[in-house]
Amino acid sequence: MFPFSFEWIWDMDHVVFMGGLWYALTILGIGMTYCIIKAAIDACRGNDEHHH
Amino acid sequence: MDSALIPRGVKRCPLWQFLLFISVVGAVLLWGVYAMLLCWIKGLNQTNMNDYYGFAIWIWADLAVIAVGGGAFFTGLLTYIFGKDELKSIINYAVLIGFICYSSALLILAYDIGQPLRGWFIFWHANVHSMLTEVAFCLSCYFGVLTIEFIPLILENRQIDRVPFFHHLSHNMHEIMAVFAATGVFLSFFHQGSLGGVAGVLFGRPFAFREGILIWPWTFFLFTWSAAACGPCFTILITKITETVTRKKLVKDSAIELLAKISGWMILTYIIAKTADTWYWATVTAPSMGQTLMDFYSNNPLYGIWILFAEIVICGFVPAAILITKKGRKNSVALWIAVILAVVGVCINRWVMVLQVMAVPVMSFDYWAMYFPSWQEIATTILPVAYGIILVGLAHRYLPVFPDESELNPIETLPAEEEETVEPPVDLEQELKPAEA
């Protein structure tokens, strides 16, 4: 549910509940985007200095 | 045949043996899938749910796998946030077990809602006053976290790791794993807690109802605490079972002992809190509602007072006493007993908080309602177990789940054999070309 949905109400319950969901999803999304972009750049540069 | 996919420096059973094993477990899986399809196609009339039991047996299984799957978030917290490097020997397996538990939990919810195509309603038309909405949010997001934690392990497969992009992706994900692990801890705290909260706020069910802080009943905190305490015991138990089946040592003793020690202290503190909660509920909360302790226990086979004793003493204080002592942790038999009791204990807790809650009569005309699940419920409850065994089998065979396995089980091979095992198939083909010519 987003603030532009018809059933959205600007109250603390909606902000905390849905805010928590977006917060978690944003962290996961940004984290994975960073990893994928960095991996693409590293692969293009042929950077192979790390071993795990 | 599949040797090019097997991690370097480890030995696996022949492919035919592995496929035979997968086939046997796969047959059980198909039985569960058939029952699941019956529930989806024909509806929840395939279960024995009734006016007393609004939860099928699989809801207990759902809560139990979520509780024992708590080993993933707690081991992740200890490894990535508190820097307990000894646990790197077992963290991959903890993540795998967590992934299996949480995917199973979501699968169970998919057939529990009866109409999985409308599963997204809970996100879009969210009831922001419901603890179950919080559970659905956190459970789904945490499954995302576990998937992210599991992906690098898949990418480290010998053949996949040869692709530069996947190799770098795996490395980059490892680098920021602490961020994902911290998010996982945040999500786990809330969904484990809210599952307990669901029971605790049922003021019409005096067996479950508890007081607490603000909107959170004590069960909220006890559920999170018990999952963090007993989840690692499940990780140890599955590790020990895997070691027994494969007849190999897969994880260093230091990792098992550290996890067992932390788990032991967590169980001890949890069970003291649980005892205090039970005492207060039995002497203050329940009497204030006109009930006595023995109103909640009967002489029927399932819900006698023995179940309370089993949960708190036998499956609480006993494993805690074993695990907090060095002698107990180092004794293999005692360790087995302790982790089994701890896992059984948390499963009993979820059992009583789901099923006994509904069995206890609350109206003057009510009676103790017994419940026996239909075969479809049993099959769909066993389904995640079969799925988990298959996934563990595949991961153990093809992924470097146990980083110390090759060190703990050195293989003595002739140089020629070693070359044959180590060389990737592409190189072998290249080597064969001159001979073919």
- Which among B126, B166, B186 is the nearest to A1, CB-wise? B126
CB B71 within 8 A of CB B232: yes
Confidence (pLDDT) at B289: 87
Q: Which residue, B58, B146, B36, is CA-closest to B102?
A: B146
**What is chain A's length?**
52
Residues of chain B scoring pLDDT < 50: 420-437
Measured CA to CA in angstroms, residue B392 lies from B53, B379, B398, B431 at distances of: 33, 20, 10, 35
Query: Is B376 in the A-facing interface, judged by CB distances under 8 Å?
Result: no
DSSP letter for each residue of B88-121 = GGTHHHHHHHHHHHHHHHHHHHHHHSS-GGGTTH
Measured from the Cβ of residue B65, the count of other Cβ atoms closer than 10 Å reads 28
The helix/strand/coil state of B106 is helix
Q: What is the pLDDT of residues A27-49, one digit of tens each?
A: 999 999 999 999 999 999 886 66
Helices (H), B162-252: 164-175, 177-200, 218-246
Lookup: tokens for B398: 């093809």
CB B211 within 8 A of CB B49: no
Contact B124 A20 (CB under 8 A): no
Plot region of B226 (φ>0 → left; ψ -120 to 50 → alpha; else → beta)? alpha
Confidence (pLDDT) at B177: 93
Distance from CA of A18 to the nearest CA of B (A): 8
Confidence (pLDDT) at B260: 96
**What domains does chain B contain, in order, with CATH numbers?**
3-406 (1.20.1630.10)
No. of helices (H) and no. of strands (E), chain B: 20, 2
According to DSSP, the residues that pair with B217 across neighbouring strands are B212
Report the alpha-carbon distance of residue B18 to residue B306 in Å, rounded.
42
Report the alpha-carbon distance of residue B336 to residue B146 in Å, rounded.
27
Measured CA to CA in angstroms, residue B39 lies from B29, B33, B54, B62 at distances of: 15, 10, 15, 17
Contact B183 A28 (CB under 8 A): yes
What ipTM does this complex have? 0.90
Confidence (pLDDT) at B40: 92
Report the alpha-carbon distance of residue B91 to residue B153 in Å, rounded.
11
No. of helices (H) and no. of strands (E), chain A: 1, 0
Distance from CA of B242 to the nearest CA of A (A): 24
Looking at beta carbons, which residues of chain B come within 8 Å of A14? Answer: 128
**What is chain B's length?**
437
Tell me the whole-structure pTM to 2 decimals. Answer: 0.90
Contact B169 A21 (CB under 8 A): no
Confidence (pLDDT) at B115: 83
Measured CA to CA in angstroms, residue B336 lies from B158, B309, B331 at distances of: 33, 21, 9
CB B76 within 8 A of CB B95: yes
Confidence (pLDDT) at B437: 29
